[in-house]
Amino acid sequence: MGAPPQDHPRGPARRILGRDLTRTLLERGYQTANMPPPAMRVMTFSVQLRVHLLTTGDFLTTMPKSMLKLNPECRGLQELPITLPSPSFPVVLVTLKGRTLTPPAELFLDGLREHVRELGL
């Protein structure tokens, strides 16, 4: 488990790249710690640009762990773990009216409904 933003070994970020769910959660973490979130200086979804800026300047970025682990461009980057509040987002299933679902889709939905019931949601 990571440290709260104020206890992070690199201190508060001076520059953050990207605007996505991860960034939103990071902002919530700073707000929970009663700290202003770092100012965003560059906005990009390009992994290559993020890596370039990280390796040549004084930048931090936020990204999903899967992006860090699965992209070859990110091999030289180091994860700086922080503790963030757990997100809660509503999720809905949408189908077309009158459309019959395939047996695999029905099986998936039945399993999903059961899982949600077990979680008490």
Read off the pLDDT of residues 22-31 as tens digits, 9 standing for 90 and up: 677 778 888 8
Reply yes or no on whether the pLDDT at 16 is more than 70. no
| The token pair that represents 27 in the structure block | 């902002």
Reply yes or no on whether the pLDDT at 33 is more than 80. yes
pTM value > 0.85:
no
Domain boundaries of the chain, sorted by first residue? 5-74
**Rounded to an integer, what distance in angstroms lies between the CA atom of residue 108 and that of residue 105?**
5
| The token pair that represents 104 in the structure block | 């695999």
pLDDT-derived band of residue 3, with 50, 70 and 90 as boundaries? low
pLDDT at res. 93:
80
